[in-house]
Amino acid sequence: MLDLFYQGGPLFMSILTILLLAVIISFWKFPSWTKEIGLLALTMGILGQVIGLYSAFKGIEQMGEVSQQMMAGGLKVSSITTIYGLIIYIVSIVFGLINKSRLD
């Protein structure tokens, strides 16, 4: 699990982890913010992937030809932040639904 954290990039994975903690805290303290924080996490995950893809394409441009395995590996690693952001967003939606049923 820690390996995925480092592969996804410590900067974006740290930001996403902080947003996950914010979603959990907002579930109890600020219920109206839960979904918005989750959406921010999803957006940050996509931004992390786009920046990762840009770096990978820049490396491919400098190296010239690359193997299909290397290309697939780069695409796999670049999607780690998006998957993490999506999981956080799903958690925020579930928490929002729980809060909605609790308040009704």
For residue 104, what is the DSSP state?
-
Do 42 and 86 meet the contact criterion of CB atoms below 8 Å apart?
yes
Query: pLDDT value at position 103?
Result: 65
State the Rg of the chain over Cα.
17
Query: pLDDT value at position 5?
Result: 81
Query: pLDDT value at position 64?
Result: 81
pTM here? 0.88
Q: Which residues of the chain have pLDDT under 50?
A: none
Do 8 and 80 meet the contact criterion of CB atoms below 8 Å apart?
yes
Query: pLDDT value at position 104?
Result: 60
Do 22 and 11 meet the contact criterion of CB atoms below 8 Å apart?
no
Q: What phi and psi, each to the nearest 5 degrees, are found at residue 83?
A: -65, -45
Q: Where are the domains of the chain?
A: 32-104
Query: pLDDT value at position 68?
Result: 84
